[in-house]
Amino acid sequence: MNQDHQQHLDMISERARQIMDSENIDALVATSSENFYYLSGHQSAFMYTLRMSEVGLAVHFRDPGRKAIIIMNDFEAAGFTGDPARYEIRTYPTWVDVDDPLNLKGGSYQGKRPVSPQAEEMFGVLQQVLEEYGISRGRMAVELDLMRHSSVMALRKACPDISELAEAGPIFTRLRAIKTPWEIQQLRKACAYAEAGVEYAVREIEPGVSAAGIVDAFRRSLMRNPDGSTPRFHMISVGDHFAPVQVFDTRPSRPGDVIKFDVGVEVAGYGSDIARTFVLGEPADATKRIYEALRRGHDRLLQMIEPGMPMKAAFQEGMSVIRAAGLSQYNRGHLGHSAGLSLAAEEGPFISPSETAIFEPNMVVCIETPYYGHGIGAIMIEDMLLITENGVERLNRLSTDLVSL
């Protein structure tokens, strides 16, 4: 873990304590892959690779005299890379045994191994910690909304005295929306890799190429990066088949087809999310007309976003511009979102009519003006922006023109 990453963790930790103070929260508990990583600096393979949630806990305390506690199964904990000065590790047994034949760690666990992950055991360790720290009757914030129903039941059973389980979702959203210098560095790289992937795939596009072929080229491009970055998603559509799919179309493209890239690359757990649209040969009049209206909205957002502006104001203005530019029926839940850890690509705050957040320096947000039409296809521009002290820095460098291939 380099110094920038350490500093990032310090900054989060301090800001988390401020929020916990103001909301009277004694312990903030992360259970999802993203928030466990955010608080611990450790990407859990059980959570990311095996897609399990509630198999590890990162517990942050309001009391600055307390180290954060990381609760993990003993198998995965053997590879925890965090700083021992900052974190204390507590373990619970899982189905995998860890032996210690040379007595390097002081003997191995002898009890019965469970068949599969045991949330009860893990929350039992949490209860012990809360008791030791004298806050077993305190106020704890957990990711109630995201947790599995069975985990919420197990948590309530294991920690019966806790006076209130508060929803941690809004706290994490507020924390994560403001990026540290280390996070901005990862997102810049993720954006650059995604653009390089689009450029590479575009160069390989030949008449008749299919969506599956373009996805393959995009994935091959990422294999050239030195740091194991992987695609997070590649919603690539060709022609009028605009729906998001997991199994890509092998249908050959035809002259006039639009080709939409909506792609993201992961760097150190941070994902980019950008989009560009191309056309095979000459675009149809409808395509040109729609593209132009979307771009006017996009340009207006780029021009107007600045610190202090309410996100809902950006939504309203962007929608008005697009409607006035000819797409009078344009409809949409949001015109952008914060970017970072979320595996679902989009995360709050949203550039939406119901958002109460304002743009602030060191936010990284995506602005997007997507259009999907039966008989037309997908047409979209999406940029990532870093909010600066007095405006925005666009992280993308590809042209926003509708380029003919």
Q: Which of 18, 63, 95, 203 binds its own copies (CB under 8 A)?
A: 95
Both tokens of 318, joined, read: 């962007």
Both tokens of 279, joined, read: 């056309």
Span 31-70, contacts to its own copies by CB under 8 A: 43-46, 48-52
Residues 6+ apart with CB under 8 A from 263: 194, 197, 198, 218, 231, 233, 234, 235, 236, 272, 273, 274, 275
Stretch that binds its own copies, among 3-11, 19-27, 108-116, 186-194 (CB under 8 A): 108-116
| Strand, coil or helix: 182 | helix
Q: Which of 36, 38, 87, 242 binds its own copies (CB under 8 A)?
A: 242
Strands 347-350 and 392-394: unpaired
CA 68, 72, 76, 81: dihedral to nearest 10 degrees?
0
Of 13 and 210, CB closest to its own copies: 210
Of 354 and 404, CB closest to its own copies: 354
* Distance in Å, CB of 343 to its own copies, minimum: 4
Of 55 and 62, CB closest to its own copies: 55
| Euclidean distance between CA atoms 50 and 368, whole angstroms | 31
Stretch that binds its own copies, among 17-25, 88-96, 122-130, 186-194 (CB under 8 A): 88-96
Of 45 and 324, CB closest to its own copies: 45
* Distance in Å, CB of 280 to its own copies, minimum: 20
Both tokens of 240, joined, read: 């009028």
* Distance in Å, CB of 344 to its own copies, minimum: 5
Both tokens of 96, joined, read: 């995998």
Q: Which of 246, 356, 390, 399 binds its own copies (CB under 8 A)?
A: 246
| Euclidean distance between CA atoms 330 and 316, whole angstroms | 12
- Name residue 243's beta-bridge partners: none
Of 353 and 391, CB closest to its own copies: 353
Span 336-395, contacts to its own copies by CB under 8 A: 343-346, 348, 350, 352, 354-355, 370-376
Distance of CA 234 to the CA centre of its chain: 15
CA distances from 128 to 8, 108, 136 (A): 29, 21, 8
* Distance in Å, CB of 25 to its own copies, minimum: 19
Span 114-153, contacts to its own copies by CB under 8 A: 114-116, 144-152
89 lines the binding site for its own copies (CB under 8 A): no
* Distance in Å, CB of 90 to its own copies, minimum: 16
Span 260-279, contacts to its own copies by CB under 8 A: 268-269
Q: Which of 14, 21, 100, 360 binds its own copies (CB under 8 A)?
A: 100
Residue by residue, DSSP assigns 363-398 as BEEEEE--EEETTTEEE--EEEEEE-SSSEEE---S
313 lines the binding site for its own copies (CB under 8 A): no
Span 159-218, contacts to its own copies by CB under 8 A: 212, 215-216
* Distance in Å, CB of 376 to its own copies, minimum: 7
Strand residues in 228-346 grouped as ranges (E): 230-238, 258-267, 270-271, 274-279, 336-338
Of 61 and 182, CB closest to its own copies: 182
Backbone angles phi, psi at 72, to 5 degrees: -140, 165
Of 374 and 397, CB closest to its own copies: 374
Q: Which of 223, 389, 397, 399 binds its own copies (CB under 8 A)?
A: 223
Is the dihedral angle over the CA atoms 360, 362, 363, 365 positive or is it negative?
positive
* Distance in Å, CB of 51 to its own copies, minimum: 4
Of 330 and 359, CB closest to its own copies: 330
96 lines the binding site for its own copies (CB under 8 A): yes
Is the dihedral angle over the CA atoms 352, 185, 341, 121 positive or is it negative?
negative
